[in-house]
Amino acid sequence: MKDQAQPKLSPVLALILGWVVPGAGHAYAGRWRKAVLFATLIIGLLVAGFAMGHGTNILKSELWYFAQVCAGGPTLVLTPISDRLAGPPDTMHDSARPNADYADPLREMGTLYTAIAGFLNLLVMMDAYVKIAYPERREEEEA
């Protein structure tokens, strides 16, 4: 039997919170352990990739940015830093940056790490949404 005193949670708000801060959607749903785990893993992966790329691999002009921005707020914080470190775009080539070494394999690996962090956050956001939107499925899993 369902508890009538339990407040109604919004799955859309869980999505939004999970985008702003990875894991916040799970915290909103009361799943604190998962929230801390997801926040640590996703933000850690994003920052590790950013460091591997020498801070020049989160650029709006690159296609990877669509994946990276799924990591939400932390990506938005790192984007202006990356823009600054990569230098101004070359007028001859729109995406070329003087300080971004596109031939550096470590930078490319860091870019991949940051993109994976974004995709993982997308999955975590959807998980928080499903757990709130379909609570009856949660009860079936626990039984």
- For 17-41, what is each residue's pLDDT tens digit? 999 999 999 999 999 999 999 999 9
Which residue's entry shows tokens 């609570």? 135
The answer to whether 52 and 62 are in contact (CB under 8 A) is no
> How far is the CA of 85 from the CAs of 57, 66, 125, 128, 143, in angstroms?
9, 20, 30, 35, 52
Is residue 15's pLDDT more than 60?
yes
Which residue's entry shows tokens 């709130």? 132
Q: What percent of the chain has pLDDT over 70?
A: 83
pTM greater than the 0.85 cutoff: no
CA distance 125 to 38: 10
The predicted pLDDT at position 116 comes to 96
Q: How is the chain split into domains, by residue range?
A: 11-137
CA distance 140 to 130: 13
